[in-house]
Structure 1
Amino acid sequence: MYTRTADTKTADRIYDPYLGLYIKKLLPDPGIPILRKIADKIWTPIYTVSGSEKRLADTLRQNHISNYYPRICSIISNRKYENKPFFPGVVFAALTAEDRKIMNENFLVREIPEIRNSETEEHIFADICFMTMAEHISRFYPFTFEKEFRCPQLAAWKVTPMTIDGFGDCRFVSNEEENITQIYFNFKTIAKIIKFNLTLYQFRSLLVSKVL
């Protein structure tokens, strides 16, 4: 249950009117990019050899190609954490046809899939927007992988879906009786699901700090 140990105004706390007390303020990581659609370019996953993601991202930057190399904080063992590639072997880039040609000739590139319709393009962009959200959350609450999405069907559980432009799949599953919230990010582009387990107090700190 909630405690009132945080019920004091300090520089690192923010007032939560829902709880009626000051809670820890979470600051977004400035190293995580704010992604935007770019005219005449398509955000596309570029597949490389696992372990070469940073080198590929650097090469894209040298060629003035906007890219996103997602890194996320995960649990290793015994409460040890590590920032590592979100999806090993994948970097996202906003590409033109000419960019594709340049990158296809780079030895680091294994495959650049062809994006054939606007719906797939929207799915990819929604997925990478969710990735930035998951990256921010992981800085405070490291994630765990789930093989499949299992949504509790008990009456006490409330499921709230979130979409971006009608695409993507992010779900908040909460139970006030058990003081728990689960956040599921279902990344269809890469076919992975990431799950965060939070207390309602932690979840409120994300909302009030506007990290989500």
Structure 2
Amino acid sequence: MIGVRLRCPECQARVSAKARWCPGCGTELPQPAVLPEPAEPEALEESPAAATGTASSKRASLSPRSWSAPQWVSVVLAVLLVVVLAVGALAFFAERNSTVASNKQQTASSVRDAVLSRASEASIKAYTVTAVTHEKDNAAAETLMTAKMAAKYSGQVTAAQWKTLAAGGAKQTSKVAADGVTSMTKDTAHVFVLIVVSTTAKNTSSNSVVAYRLNVTLVDRGGNWLVDDMNVIF
């Protein structure tokens, strides 16, 4: 061992661990014993039965565990729950879509009815007038028309003509025999109105009943349908 110093067994002088003779008295110094290297441990032989058991245990530990009955029941219940939820979701969305479609259909039907009602009402008021009260009657009809149509309507009969008609006691009444929507968009509708007009006057035999087909155009003004044009088709 490097750096280690021993004592001579005779004179007790300090000597190097590598020295063979004591420099003081010349006594031969004993050499350090060399320890034998440790023997390698012998491999233990494993019996065939033990080896087979070990391999089987390893395979058993690596192989998947078989599921017990409660585990299968849990899996089946989970699958059934997913199926039930999926069917319920499909039924919910189908019902909602059906409700939305039904509401849209009802809304369209309501708008269609409102258009026909306004066209018939405007036609009756336009063709129901008494000469004596024509200003009041015309004003009532014009509330159902746009400004363009009101100007067209009021200019059909002059003041002089109204005066003559009033003197003769002229009176005109009307009723709707049939109506229908020919075409319709979001804010415009085209309607036909079959109207029967009865005209009477005092001291005359020229009373008449005539049926007219009116082509009426209506426009939506903020949810209020107004007559924008009205033409007579004989």
TM-score (norm 1): 0.24
Structure possessing the higher radius of gyration over alpha carbons: 2
Name the one with the larger strand percent. 1
Name the one with the larger helix percent. 2
TM-score (norm 2): 0.23
